[in-house]
Amino acid sequence: MLKKSVSILSILALSLTMLAACGKDNTSTTPGQTASEEPYTVNFAYHAPKEGNQTEVNALINELTMKELNMKVNLMPITWDTYNSKMPMMLAAQEPIDISFVFAFSLPSFIDQGYIVDGSDYEEYTKDLYKVLGDDLQGGYIGDMLAGFPMMNVRGTPSGIFVRKDIFEELGYKASDFSVTTDDMSSFKQITDLFAKVKEKYPDMTPFDGFRTFGLNTITYVDGMGDNFGVLENYGQADKVTNYYESEQFKQFALLNREWFTKGLSSKDIAVDKELGQAKMKAGKTFAFFASYGANAITDVKSQTGYDTVLIPVSSKMKSTTAVNGALNVVLNTSADKAKAFQFLNWAYNSKEFNDLLNWGVPGKDWVVNADGQADYPEGVDATNVNYHSDYGFIYPNQYLMTPWAGSPKDIWEKYKAFSDDAIVSRAFGFTFDSSSVAMEQSQLAAVLAKYENAISFGAVDPEPTLKQLNDELHNAGLQTVMDEKQKQLDAWLSKQK
Amino acid sequence: MNKGSLLKRLKPFLPLYLMMIPCAVYLIVNNYIPMVGIISAFKSFKATEGLLGSPWVGWKNFEFLLRTSDIGVIIRNTLLYNAAFILVNNLVGIVLAILITGVRNNKMKKVYQSSVLLPFTMSMVVISYVVFAFLSQQNGLLNNSIFQNNPVEWYSDTTWWPLILTLVQCWKYVGYGALIYIAGISVIDRSLYEAGAIDGAGTWKQMTHITLPALVPSIITLFLLSIGRIFYSDFGLFYLIPQNSGMLFNVTATVDTYVYSALMSPGGIGRSAAAGLVQAMVGFGLVLLVNAIVRKFSAKDAIF
Amino acid sequence: MTYNKTHQTVSHILLLLVTLAMIIPLLLLFISSVTDEKALVANGYSFFPEKLSLNAYGYISTNSGTIFKAYGITIIATAIGTAVGVLITAMMGFALSIKGLPGKNAISFFVYFTMLFNGGLVPSYIMWTSLGTVNTIWAYVVPFLLTNAFSIILIRSYFASNIPNELYDSAKIDGAGFFRIFMVIGMPLGKPILVTIGLFSCLNYWNDWQNGLYFITDPDMLSIQALLNKMNQNLQAVITYTSTSSSSTATLPHVSIRMAIAFVAILPILVMYPFLQKYFASGIMGGAVKG
């Protein structure tokens, strides 16, 4: 009986294999060959808050691209949930997509699975794009491969603590009273004192809440070069790759959060509840939260929480690869005409109209230019009934070309650019760790970290014994191997830069 | 045996084979054809080569299962929880079924029958919100009432979780088993009970001598179903309900949560396929074994 | 079974407790959805909230048109899927229950094997997209027709132990008789198990949001669970990402919205439950005609 079934199965499997084999074969046309009459349609996957409302925007973009490029575009909106669940399947199924945005954390597996086309082979089509990105293009390289093009937006976001202005001032504080710096870890005591005072005067308030805190947002203090297993400490200025979880800084952060947790200065759910501080503050019972911020922070936080806030900065600005390549546009191997895809990207980073259409929708219907030259809703339209409104400028090709939204500072993009200018540049800026040779170790390390990271960082457990456990397990899982490999690649990269 | 006699033997059953066709075709298309994906367990998937063209990597994808020092904890949790779930669900399911079918008031009977199925309508995501409403350390019902003076750090204290997970699991799924057992009981010939009562058998005796034996086939089938899935775990239950809290890892990590964490990293396709294959093989082996045992004692209850 | 008065009382008490345990979490879900967010944050979750608010439902109702459409899609998919699914399952299960059917064990094995081994999501995804289910009702119906090959086994053993052998023997003599037996005796006698399986199939279809996620891009074709799942995700995204003051959703109470969304998803089931139950109960009791 079993034998029979097995033979039936093998016949089936064989027929299937054949089936799966066809259609997989992507014979790509020679670059630029099809350039003549027939307009090429670029399938463009972009991050969007919702699906299905893009038809009109798509038509307008088509008009534009037909005029300027003799191409058409098929907009493929990808929402946050489809990015995580459906995208991997579309890619593995090799559905035709020319260009897609990719978050940096998925880049290694995209490359490993062969989804991404090396941009350096198509340099001739992306000259203008290189000009726009300048130095930041370095963030798109993994080894010698130009994996993608970073989005053009604000770089180097430092972190700080946002506190409710009304309470802060009622208690008689001024922002200038605070000077908190990682150079002197005892300076963080100022924040503890502030929280304690709030707790005393407003017993029903939670001084600190939200799913972000110092140790977790390491990106602002150290350069992790892709992951956090082996970092350059001190804003990327350290000589050697070290283990951040054994550093004095991480320990001090953990102890600080532990103190807040045990004294009831932070929420009892802080290590579990995934809500961000903005949402917590909005509900009215939270005094402060931790976040990284850009040039327009206070206005942004006001619109997210409904409260005026005061910002207490707790880190310096650092420009690292991670800060640049958080999200990238990549050309995928399923593109039928890769040269056209690169041409399109080249244009996308340089067209104001395209970026505005993608972000704000149909002019005159979804938005209008107001008297200040900024974008605003037309008469009778608001956030609840607007058809298309992405407001994801930071994850579209070039935010700096977009019409700013009403209420922003006049020179918002100048401010954004200037904001990054005085950032400390990490020694490893431009370097991205190629983790393919240690992928196995990396996933073990990630599993270990997942056990401890939140609990330690938010102070839900006593760091004294737990930190040691964490580091022991990290070493058992092959931390040294990853750090050595990282150091090796970094040294090789540094020597090439000179 | 020659062709003619085989045909002759099969002929009376022809209508039965015809009745099987829709289902068989569906199983082939929906289940068997996609099984080609199993080979990715032995491949390093490269999109440009296609699944078949991708390089073979032997057992490398399976290695990661053994690489973690927590493999013992993971296997222990998966097996023990499944064993507990099988036991509790079937026990509670049978008790509920017997209680419900015994109720004389028809209206109440319907109420009870409906209520055991209510949790079935809630997804694990939703249940995780409700559980959080009970256990939240800041706002939760439990810490605000029963545990007010002695609050429990639910999401970092492992003590209660084996109980919580078993409860939640039973709460959500017990209706399934209960309903199957109710269906089983409802066709038992009434006259058997009457005869039993005349012979002086009390309620207990009727239950052990009439009801339970009648349920044996259902129990065996349900058991064989669960045993085949002994190496699987309900991802939502173990990931969402404990809010993915790392400190609970020792009592919440199972094969599926471990595989999930490895999915997004390079080689994830091959590794999850490898894990799935191991899960299936373990279940398969156990089912063959149990089925063989069942066949020995009661051939008609064996699955194949 | 025969019970005396005491037994009845004890059963009622136990079952009432069970019923409470089943209903209370649902009640908490509903109450949280109408609790004022600020009261919730200040006082915690409670069955007796200090202040009620319908803001969450106000937010959801801005999508009411889409929601009704989505209910429609779900109902159609559930109805077709359950009817077809139960029929093909029953035919297979019935056929396999027949004693002496040549190849019976091999076919049972063929069925059972699918419960253990699968090729992962990607091949299934390729299969159903290439068969053209994308953005059609079939994207919901087809992948779930036989969510569990186990139902076949269940039906098989049910028939095997409840249909007298003599019936089969007489049917074997007259070849076409099997089909008649299935229709005239199998279906009515199998009602309890078929109804049970139908009920599970219904709930399965109702609760499914994954097929909507994978195969539907047209917002007019979203099922209720897929739609609500999207609303939930969007809400999260808006809170996480949005920076400019152009999004009103940034100021919404989202704990209660989350709860409200969950409640809206099961509302029709709660409303229809007594009716469904009446039908199902009669089905299950109907099986007991012999007694």
Residue of higher predicted confidence among A117 and C265: A117
C-alpha C117 chain-centroid distance: 23
A391 touches A304 (CB < 8 A) = no
Give which of C3, C15, C46 to mutate to test B binding, by max B Cβ within 10 Å.
Answer: C15
A121 inside 8 A of chain B by CB:
no
- Contact state of B113 with C154 under an 8 Å Cβ cutoff: no
pLDDT band, very low/low/confident/very high, at C106 (cuts 50, 70, 90): very high
C90 within 8 A of B16, measured Cβ to Cβ: no
User: Residue A322: CB partners within 8 Å, gap ≥ 6?
Assistant: A104, A219, A223, A224, A225, A226
Cα distances from B54 to residues A25, A112, A443, C129, in angstroms, run: 12, 12, 22, 23
Residue A92 near chain C (CB below 8 Å) = yes
> Which band of pLDDT confidence, cut at 50, 70 and 90, is reported for residue C207?
confident
Hey, which residues does A47 pair with through a beta bridge? A78
Whole-angstrom CA distances from A408 to A362, A376, A405, B123, B133 are 21, 11, 6, 42, 39
For C287, the token pair is 């099986």
Q: Is residue C237 predicted with pLDDT exceeding 70?
A: no
Q: How far apart are CA A407 and CA A156, in angstroms?
A: 24
pLDDT at A106: 84
Domains, in order of start, for chain B: 80-129+159-301 (1.10.3720.10)
Residues of chain A with pLDDT under 70: 1-37, 156, 217-219, 498
Task: With residue A369 as reference, give the H or E element that holds it.
Answer: strand A368-369
CA C15 to chain CA mean position, Å: 24
| E strand or H helix at A416 | helix A412-421
Place of tokens 């999915």: B263
C85 CB-contact burial (10 Å; exposed 0-12 / middle 13-18 / buried 19+): buried
Distance of alpha carbon C138 from alpha carbon A92, whole angstroms: 23
A278 to chain C: which residues are within 8 Å by CB? Answer: 239
Phi, psi of A40 (to 5 degrees): -85, 140
Spell out which residues of chain C touch residue B98, defining contact as CB-CB under 8 Å.
1
AA letter at C222: L
Q: What is the mean pLDDT of the segment spanning C96-112?
A: 89
Between C84 and A296, name the one with better pLDDT: C84
pLDDT reading at B248 higher than 60: yes
Give the gyration radius of chain A's Cα atoms: 25
Q: Token pair of C126, please? A: 């390729």
HEC string of B209-250? HHHHHHHHHHHHHHHHHHHHCCCCCCHHHHHCCCCCCHHHHH
Q: Which of A1, A24, A446 sits opposite B50 (nearest CB)?
A: A24
Q: pTM value?
A: 0.86
Supply A108's token pair.
Answer: 């290694």
Instruction: Report the residue of B23, B130, B134 to disrupt the C interface, i.e. the one with the largest count of C CBs within 10 Å.
Output: B23
Evaluate whether A452 touches B75 at the Cβ level (below 8 Å): no
DSSP summary character for residue A175: G
* Domain residue spans of chain A: 33-153+321-427, 157-316+434-498
Domain A33-153+321-427, CATH homologous superfamily name and number: Periplasmic binding protein-like II (3.40.190.10)
Backbone angles phi, psi at B154, to 5 degrees: -55, -40
CA distance linking residue A448 with residue A458, whole number of Å: 17
Contact predicate A151/A327, CB 8 Å: yes
DSSP type of residue B139: T
Report pLDDT for A164.
Answer: 96
Do the bridges between strand A309-313 and strand A368-369 make them parallel or antiparallel, or are there none, so unpaired?
unpaired
CB atoms within 10 A of CB B284: 17
Q: Between chains, do A282 and C251 touch, taking CB under 8 Å as contact? A: yes
CA A240 centroid distance within chain: 26
Superfamily (CATH H level) for A157-316+434-498: Periplasmic binding protein-like II (3.40.190.10)
DSSP class of residue A30?
Answer: P
pLDDT band at C2 (very low <50, low <70, confident <90, very high): low
Confidence label for C281 from pLDDT (cuts 50, 70 and 90): low
Q: Which of residues 113-172 of C touch A (CB under 8 A)?
A: 113, 121-123, 125-126, 129
Cβ–Cβ below 8 Å for A49 and C38: no
User: What residue of A is the nearest CA neighbor of C119?
Assistant: A13
Greater model confidence, B91 or A34: B91
CA torsion, ordered A275, A281, A283, A285, to nearest 10 deg? 110
Q: CB of C285 within 8 Å of any CB in chain B?
A: yes
Residues of A in contact with C107 (CB under 8 A): none
pLDDT at C235 over 80: no
The DSSP element (H or E) to which B268 belongs, if any, is helix B268-297
pLDDT-derived band of residue C238, with 50, 70 and 90 as boundaries?
low
Residue C125 corresponds to which tokens in the numbers above?
């995804």
Is a pLDDT exceeding 80 seen at residue B249?
A: yes
> What is d(CA B156, CA A189) in angstroms, rounded to the nearest whole number?
26
pLDDT at C276: 67
B23 to chain C: which residues are within 8 Å by CB? 88-89, 91-92, 111, 146, 152
Q: What are residue A160's DSSP bridge partners? A: A291, A313
* Cβ atoms of residues C146 and B30 within 8 Å: yes
Give the whole-angstrom CA distance, residue B73 versus residue B255.
10
Please list, in sequence order, all residues whose beta carbon lies within 8 angstroms of the beta carbon of residue B160, skipping any fewer than 6 positions away: B152, B154
Nearest residue of chain B to residue A271 (CA atoms): B245
A189 and A263 Cβ atoms separated by less than 8 Å: no
Q: Nearest CA of chain B to the CA of A303: how many Å?
A: 26
- Specify the 3-state DSSP secondary structure of A406: coil
How far apart (Å, rounded) are the C-alpha atoms in residues A366 and A384? 12
| pLDDT at site A109 | 85
Q: Shortest CB distance from B261 goes to which of A25, A26, A446?
A: A446
Does residue A52 sit at the C interface (CB-CB below 8 Å)? yes
Asked if pLDDT for residue C240 goes beyond 50, the answer is yes
* Residue found under tokens 């020597």: A495
Which domains does chain C show, CATH number per domain? 64-290 (1.10.3720.10)
Cα–Cα distance measured from residue A425 to residue C2, given in angstroms and rounded to the nearest whole number: 84
The total of other beta-carbon atoms located within 10 Å of residue A463's CB is 23
Indicate yes or no: CB of A94 within 8 angstroms of CB of B47. yes
What's the whole-number mean pLDDT along residues C122-136?
89
The interface residues of chain A toward chain C in range 146-205, judged by CB-CB distance below 8 A, are: 204
**Residues 228-287, chain A, touching C (beta carbon < 8 A):** 275-276, 278-279, 282-285
What are residue A444's phi and psi, to 5 degrees? -65, -45
Distance from CA of A12 to the nearest CA of B (A): 7
Pick from A302-311, C109-118, C241-250, C280-289: least confident:
C241-250
C150 vs C35, more confident: C35
Cα separations in angstroms, A494 against A228, B184, B195: 19, 74, 92
Query: SS3 for B191?
Result: helix
